[in-house]
């Protein structure tokens, strides 16, 4: 037994060393560092933040990175008040916010906001007028847009969500949203809800789309990395990380890491468009 185990173990250790050393290039700056880094805010950012944090903490276990949600509003506020080191927002912080808190902005990805339906729903394309009518309550049955004869169940996001802000400004052109819309508090919850509701419609960050929900073409364009990158898909926004004042130390290194080849690779892997 021992003789079988040892080469196996050796292989595992070898591959671990090999892998880490092969990938450690962009992580070198974290060597010898220790400390804590608190991140909060936009929920669209979380998958990228998590993956980056996982790699950094694997390479250097002395570093602890905590990642919380809360929405873009909370991200700007908490970074501005010094409660967290990095506050994420899915919108560019307003000029007042930047001036008031002395924020420094780092836009590390571009993201599409995709309209989603349940995979069981046959509707795969909507025009902007149809989307506006659906969210205003003027179209309330799937039959009118080529689906089954069922009531449309609307899902929107909370007041602090920048996904909502972008969707409302770009897709709905600031038109009213009907009062009986259900409000969901995060990207993940939105995906879970629409994947559960056969007659639901909602919207999430394009990076969050997987087989549990189906994206809908908006004015004939499907949201994808390609269409967002080429500017064909209309509902897009930047993903920002904000710091109070010039970032230093671990905060600076973390943000720099997001812009390295490896960092931008994570961005792409998670379904967003790298900025570089």
Which residues are near another protein by CB under 8 A?
A: 70-71, 73-74, 76-77, 97, 150-151, 153-155, 158-160, 174, 179-185, 192-193, 196-197, 199-200
Q: How far is CA 197 from CA 5, 154, 192, 239, in A?
A: 49, 10, 9, 28
Under 8 Å between Cβ of 212 and 119: yes
Cα separation, 186 vs 115, in Å, equals 15
Cα separation, 125 vs 127, in Å, equals 7
**Which residue, 195 or 251, has its beta carbon nearer to another protein?**
195
First-residue to last-residue Cα distance in the chain? 51
**Which residue, 5 or 179, has its beta carbon nearer to another protein?**
179
For the CB of residue 37, give the shortest distance to another protein in the complex, in Å.
Answer: 21
**Which residue, 31 or 138, has its beta carbon nearer to another protein?**
138
For the CB of residue 70, give the shortest distance to another protein in the complex, in Å.
Answer: 5
Give the Cα-Cα-Cα angle 193, 168, 210 (nearest 5 degrees): 35
For the CB of residue 174, give the shortest distance to another protein in the complex, in Å.
Answer: 8
**Which residue, 70 or 207, has its beta carbon nearer to another protein?**
70
Q: How many CA atoms lie within 13 A of 43 on its CB side?
A: 22
For the CB of residue 8, give the shortest distance to another protein in the complex, in Å.
Answer: 40
């Amino acid at each position: 037994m021992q003789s079988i185990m040892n080469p196996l173990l050796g292989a595992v250790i070898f591959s671990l060393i090999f892998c880490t050393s092969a990938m450690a290039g962009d992580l070198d700056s974290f060597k010898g560092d220790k400390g804590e880094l608190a991140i909060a805010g936009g929920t669209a950012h979380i998958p990228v933040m998590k993956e980056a944090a996982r790699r950094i903490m694997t390479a250097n276990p002395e570093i602890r990175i905590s990642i919380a949600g809360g929405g873009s509003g909370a991200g700007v506020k908490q970074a501005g008040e010094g409660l967290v080191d990095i506050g994420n927002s899915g919108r560019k912080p307003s000029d007042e916010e930047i001036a008031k808190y002395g924020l420094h902005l780092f836009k590390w990805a571009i993201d599409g906001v995709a309209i989603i339906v349940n995979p069981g729903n046959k509707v795969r394309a909507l025009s902007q007028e149809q989307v506006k009518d659906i969210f205003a309550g003027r179209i309330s049955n799937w039959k009118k847009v080529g689906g089954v004869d069922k009531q449309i169940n609307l899902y929107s996001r909370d007041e602090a969500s920048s996904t909502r802000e972008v969707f409302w400004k770009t897709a709905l052109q600031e038109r009213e949203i009907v009062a009986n819309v259900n409000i969901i508090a995060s990207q993940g919850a939105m995906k879970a809800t629409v994947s559960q509701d056969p007659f639901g419609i909602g919207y999430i960050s394009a990076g969050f789309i997987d087989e549990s929900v189906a994206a809908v073409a908006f004015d004939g364009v499907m949201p994808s990395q390609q269409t967002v990158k080429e500017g064909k898909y209309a509902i897009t926004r930047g993903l920002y990380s904000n710091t109070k004042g010039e970032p230093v130390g671990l905060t600076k290194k973390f943000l720099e890491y997001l812009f390295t080849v490896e960092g931008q690779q994570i961005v792409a892997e998670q379904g967003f468009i790298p900025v570089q």
